[in-house]
């Protein structure tokens, strides 16, 4: 598999809580099959899962695109949704625009974006109010020395 890039994409539907997380779960399986270290796969899965949930909770629809190279795992999520007016504010732990019914489902505590950033080696976010948001998550695959 040495020089091959593995890539693919998933479609996400806003409000589809039944399948929420399925894409991230699938990506985690793919990483495991590629023998990526569990520690890195976990970080990637967490960041991706949070990003996926944001699309499901806030947007109308989105696409998750992933690319795994020998050097890194890259996931880009592009959504059609309300967008984020103040990204800095949104990145603050605890800041949330989720309605109450989302909180009752166990989400909406305002930890999603901080969780994404925390688990990424590189994290970019862009948004246009009224159009949507794009997040880019990159996790570098180093020589893994964990036993």
Partner 1 sequence: MTLGKVMEVLEGEVALNTGDMETEILSVCSSDLMSDLLHFSSKPKSLLITGLNNTQVVRTAEIADIKAVVFVLDKRPDRETVEMARQKGITLIVTRLSRFTACGRLYAEGLVSCTGENR
Partner 2 sequence: MNIREVMDSLSSDVKTTKGDLGHAVTGCYISDLLSDVMANAKEGEVWITLQTHPNIVAVASLKNLSGIIITNKRTPEEETLKKAEDEHITVAVSPLTTFEAGGLLYKLLRC
How many residues can be counted in the chain? 147
Nearer to partner 2, 62 or 112 (CB): 112
Site string for partner 1, 55-94 (x = CB under 8 A): ----------------------------------------
Cβ–Cβ < 8 Å for 44, 32: no
Binding residue (CB under 8 A) for partner 1 from 5, 17, 33, 122: 17
Q: For partner 1, which stretch binds (CB under 8 A), given 49-57, 62-70, 74-82, 124-132?
A: 49-57
The C-alpha atoms of residue 62 and residue 133 are separated, in whole angstroms, by 9
Cβ–Cβ < 8 Å for 140, 72: yes
Binding residue (CB under 8 A) for partner 1 from 107, 125, 133, 135: 107
Q: Which of 76, 61, 78, 80 is nearest to 120 (CA)?
A: 76
Q: Is 147 in the site for partner 2 (CB under 8 A)?
A: no
37: DSSP letter: -
Binding residue (CB under 8 A) for partner 2 from 103, 124, 140, 142: 103
Residue 7: count other Cβ atoms within 10 Å of its Cβ. Answer: 11
């Amino acid at each position: 598999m040495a020089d091959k890039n593995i890539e693919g994409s998933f479609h996400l539907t806003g409000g589809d809580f039944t399948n929420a997380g399925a894409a991230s779960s699938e990506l985690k399986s793919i990483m495991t099959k590629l023998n990526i270290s569990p520690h890195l796969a976990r970080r990637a899965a967490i960041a991706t899962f949070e990003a996926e949930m944001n699309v499901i909770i806030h947007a109308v629809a989105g696409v998750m695109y992933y690319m795994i190279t020998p050097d890194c795992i890259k996931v880009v999520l592009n959504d059609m949704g309300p967008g984020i007016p103040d990204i800095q504010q949104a990145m603050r732990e605890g800041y949330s625009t989720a309605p109450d019914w989302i909180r009752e489902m166990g989400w909406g505590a305002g930890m999603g974006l901080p969780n994404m950033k925390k688990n990424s080696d590189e994290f970019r976010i862009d948004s246009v109010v009224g159009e949507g948001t794009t997040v880019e998550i990159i996790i570098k695959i180093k020589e893994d020395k964990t036993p």
